[in-house]
Homo-oligomer: A and B are copies of this chain.
Amino acid sequence: MSGFLFTKNATDGRARVGLIRTIRGDIQTAAVMPVGTAAAVKAMSPENVRATGAEIILGNTYHLMLRPTAERIAALGGLHRFMNWDGPILTDSGGFQVMSLAKLRKITEDGVSFQSHLDGAAYQLTPERSMEIQRLLGSNIVMAFDECTPFPVKKDDAAASMQLSMRWAKRSKEGFEAGAEHAAQNALFGIVQGSVFEDLRAQSVAALTGIGFHGYAIGGLAVGEGQAAMLSVLDYTAPLLPDDRPRYLMGVGKPPDLVQAVARGIDMFDCVLPTRSGRNGQAFTRRGTVNLRNARHADDPRPLDDGCACPACSNYSRAYLAHLVRAGEILGAVLLTWHNLHYYQQLMAGLRGAIEATRLDDFIREFEAEQAAGDIEPV
């Protein structure tokens, strides 16, 4: 564990500010990770990503194992070198994408057999293979291999799924530690499952803390349960997690979700929304979501957000951004992705500052009021 260290530096209520130390650099928490699915944060260069303030990115095991393959990336010097990102990288385990993307999935005690969504080729993913792939990639934060329980789900099925994930968590730890050199320098996080059932979540936390991980993720959320149900899970799950380890809420979320989850003690997030929305002409701003396809922007000489320092807001009008989106110009995707990632990073910096100043409640009130007030009036 010499290469990985979490320090909690400030609290406000249940919210925390901390620092994660990795062999690739530090991460201020609460942190949100841009998603670099296929060895690239979509529409961004690593320099662009760094310029948004991001200190860590996420890579997807499922995508990378299919193309270009983990073995190829390893032969080329690992994922950091391959994609020219020298900061920390967290990789997921592949479990979630196997469920959402692959074809002909078959789950057994051993793992998951499936066909690639790219070419139909047959693959198997087990806890051991997931650990091997993440090690080949050179991941700094490895995620345990789990089954992402679907939603809605009967309690019996949720229990069985969670228990399978806990057995896989133990095998993940053993698989992770089998790569002794990599394990000595990097971290393994366990993933709490149990859907929306409080006792199952508690059982899952107990199982994981019994095994022991460098950090703990809350999985199986942002799958359609809605914000209230998600926050309820955080309300009873986060307090059960070890105070001295980072807590990662997987796949969440919209800005209001991040704010509420931070208030409930979450330290880390990943979400495709800033990048995906950026490619779809949608911008996240302190005044809520702005759709650049809306006709109201076509003649608007004002920036997207006059308080934002990103290139999209500093150098261009809404009219120009709207034109790029309509014309299908790649630059539109680039600029809006950049803005969205910048906004997400600014939001996290704001949350960290508020926690350090013990004024998180005020921050959240101001955030919600500004979001509720909505976009500036049309010209």
10 A-B pairs within 8 Å (CB atoms) are namely A39-B323, A40-B324, A40-B327, A40-B331, A42-B331, A68-B319, A76-B317, A82-B317, A82-B319, A82-B323
Given A40-B329, A331-B43, A333-B330, A320 and B83 contact (CB-CB distance below 8 Å) = yes
Q: Which 9 A-B pairs have the closest CB atoms?
A: A43-B330, A38-B327, A68-B323, A84-B315, A40-B331, A40-B329, A76-B319, A76-B301, A82-B320
0 or 1 for each of A66-79: is its CB under 8 Å from B? (1 = yes): 01100010011100
CB of A110 closer than 8 Å to a CB of B: no
Residues of B within 8 A of A82 (CB): 317, 319-320, 323
0 or 1 for each of A296-336: is its CB under 8 Å from B? (1 = yes): 00110100000000010001110110011011011101110
Q: Which residue of B lies closest to A42 (CB)?
A: B330
Cα separation A42 to B328 with both chains bound (whole Å) = 10
Cα separation A317 to B323 with both chains bound (whole Å) = 34
Cα separation A319 to B77 with both chains bound (whole Å) = 11
CB of A277 closer than 8 Å to a CB of B: no
Cα separation A272 to B337 with both chains bound (whole Å) = 26
Total copies of the chain: 2
Residues of B within 8 A of A68 (CB): 298, 319, 323, 326
CB of A207 closer than 8 Å to a CB of B: no
Residues of B within 8 A of A46 (CB): 315
Cα separation A83 to B335 with both chains bound (whole Å) = 12
CB of A44 closer than 8 Å to a CB of B: yes
Q: Which residue of B lies closest to A75 (CB)?
A: B299
Q: How many residues of A contact B (CB 8 A)?
A: 37
Q: Which residue of B lies closest to A323 (CB)?
A: B68
Residues of B within 8 A of A124 (CB): none
Cα separation A324 to B42 with both chains bound (whole Å) = 10
CB of A227 closer than 8 Å to a CB of B: no
Contact between B330 and A76 (Cβ–Cβ < 8 Å)?
no
CB of A358 closer than 8 Å to a CB of B: no
Q: What's the least CB distance linking A173 to chain B, in Å?
A: 31
Residues of B within 8 A of A298 (CB): 68, 72
0 or 1 for each of A47-83: is its CB under 8 Å from B? (1 = yes): 0000000000000000000011000100111000011
Q: Which residue of B lies closest to A43 (CB)?
A: B330
Residues of B within 8 A of A291 (CB): none
Cα separation A317 to B80 with both chains bound (whole Å) = 12
CB of A185 closer than 8 Å to a CB of B: no
CB of A346 closer than 8 Å to a CB of B: no
